[in-house]
Amino acid sequence: MPTPPQRTLIVMPAFNEESSVGAVVAEVFRTLPGVSCLVIDDGSSDRTARVAARAGATVAQLPYNLGVGGAMRVGFRFAVENGFHNVVQVDSDGQHDPRYVPDLLAALDTADIAIGARFAGVGSYEVKGPRRWAMSLLSVVISRIAGTELRDTTSGFKAMGPRAITLFSSNYPAEYLGDTIEALVIAARSRLRITQVPTAMRERAAGRPSHNPIKATVYLARASLALLVGLLRPATPIPGDES
């Protein structure tokens, strides 16, 4: 059942992105005619909200910075309240190419969450050293939990179908890394089907991942914590979902 573009909401968390958000919104409307675009201004101190609104996006302004998780919660609630079927999370800094959104949406025919994965064959996104080991380890563990191979568990480029939106609108972690790792664990344990779609990331934000080994270790520790907390919490049943 293909969903018409009118039922698809592009959600863009934006924190001080006045220099890029306008172009990204314009590109979304150009590549994906008919979709709605909600920019969540996550407590920016610059003109992010204004620029996004002038570019034609619907803008929700958070009174202070909540992080990507908090911003996405607003997006999911907006989607539920306004009857959207699918939510696609796109970064406001331009690293995600909206041309892949139809691929992600197509994958939702057989899944509840489609991740735009950076290491799955397309593009040249490359991470080395400890950070790479951390990400590989996460990918192995989460793939096992989800029961499907997921190469890129920390990607912020994701499409979510109706069941995922219902789950996440009431239950989305707002901690650091919670919006990627813990959210996937919650989804997998609520028996949502997760899949990945190979995507290329653009140079701009994907350009310099940190190679500092101490930072990578801290990253691994925090990611493991997010993973563990996700596993410890009881599985959440999806409202109105009997099977």
Partner 1 sequence: MTVASYVLGIAAALLVLIIVTEMLRRRRLRERHAIWWFIAGILALVAGVFPNTLEWAARLVGVQLPTNLVFFVSIAILFLVCLQHAAELTTVEAKTRTLAEQSALQELRIRQLEQQLYGHDRLTADNRDD
Footprint on this chain of partner 1 (rule: CB under 8 A): 40, 49-50, 53-54, 58-64, 66, 70, 73-74, 77-78, 81, 174
The residue among 199, 207, 220, 89 whose CA lies nearest residue 151 is: 199
Q: Which is nearer to partner 1, 45 or 243 (CB)?
A: 45
- Cβ closer to partner 1: 70 or 156? 70
Question: CA neighbours within 13 Å on the CB side: how many for 157?
Answer: 28
Structure tokens at 166: 């219902």
Question: Among residues 60 and 200, whose Cβ is nearest to partner 1?
Answer: 60
DSSP 66-107: -HHHHHHHHHHHHHHHTT-SEEEE--TTS-S-GGGHHHHHHH
Q: Which is nearer to partner 1, 59 or 87 (CB)?
A: 59
Q: Which residue's structure tokens are 């003109």?
A: 47
Minimal distance, residue 32 CB to partner 1, in Å:
21
3 state DSSP class of 142 = helix
**Whole-angstrom Cα distance, residue 105 to residue 115?**
10
Name the minimum Å distance from CB 60 to partner 1.
4
Q: How far apart are CA 139 and CA 145, in angstroms?
A: 10
Least distance between partner 1 and beta carbon 180 (Å): 18
The residue (of 66 and 113) whose beta carbon lies closer to partner 1 is 66
CB of 38 to partner 1, least distance (A): 9
CB of 1 to partner 1, least distance (A): 28
CB 185 within 8 A of CB 227: yes
